[in-house]
Amino acid sequence: ALLITFALAWFGAFLINRSEWLNLPVYASSAVVLHVLLMYAATVSACRGPAEDRRCGVLELLLTTPLGADVILEGRLLALKRRLLGPLVFVLAADVGLAGAGCWKFTFLAPEILGWLALFLVLIVHLFVDLYALSWVGTWQGFKAKTLRQAIGRTISYVLLLRWLLLFGSLALLGLTTQGRAFNSPVSGAFMFFGYVTFSLMCLLHFCGLAMSELKDELRELAARQEEIDSRTFAWWPFAGYALA
């Protein structure tokens, strides 16, 4: 529903102002917004799955069987992949369309085309990595957190926000220690890029590893001590009830 709403709003803006709407910044920012919406939808779905299993009694039934944690997790993640397949294909098709539309803004065989296509390639790789992490961490927090709101908040904080806090904290510390001279250097951009990549990998590896370890080794304990989530908590986060409807 979120992706369709954004697509309708995009085409509405295009019809209102065609001359200024079709440009490279709009194409790039549209791709970023689509990726963010898909990651939010994936987070909601990953966190909501364990709670729905618990409410319907599916989880209790599974825990009484001799099935191992790996089988239960495999089924949970497979259901998540199937639910995200349609939205993911939609976003990737939009990326191809936006990248192709941007290429028309350059002259034939211009070197800038390679940079433009590389930007979209990086965005797509970044999307897949974040979706993988959000799936594991969201499922983990869906079992561990007391409410859906808490599970979504923790997942977004761990996977998406913490890297930015670490990066901005490092930049602030660098600016204070050098009295701002570091930002006048041509290497400041490279520092920000490698800093973002480093902090992203640190957060993803740490929280993905922690989620995998606890889910595989302590799934039954997590499910047994988790309180039942009241259905009213599903409406706390914006669009949490129908992010993938």
Express each pLDDT in 209-245 by its tens digit: 999 888 887 776 766 655 444 444 444 444 444 454 4
Q: What is the pLDDT of residue 35?
A: 95
pTM value > 0.85: no
For residue 222, what pLDDT is reported?
A: 66
Exposure of 43 in the CB half-sphere (CA atoms within 13 A): 25
Answer yes or no: are the C-beta atoms of 116 and 106 closer than 8 Å.
yes
Report the share of the chain in percent with pLDDT over 90: 39
pLDDT tens-digit map of 55-90: 666 666 666 666 666 777 888 889 899 999 999 999
Give every CB contact of residue 131 below 8 A, 6+ residues apart in sequence: 38, 39, 42, 84, 88
- In Å, how far are 33, 163, 196, 203 from 187, measured between CA atoms? 28, 20, 14, 24
d(CA 199, CA 205) in angstroms, rounded, equals 10
Query: Of the segments 16-25, 50-59, 83-92, which one has the largest average pLDDT value?
Result: 83-92
Residues 75-129 have pLDDT tens digits of 888 989 999 999 999 999 999 999 988 888 777 777 788 888 999 999 999 999 9
CA separation, residue 229 to residues 66, 144, 196 (Å): 25, 11, 36
Q: What is the mean pLDDT of the chain?
A: 82
Q: Which residue has the tokens 């199937």?
A: 82
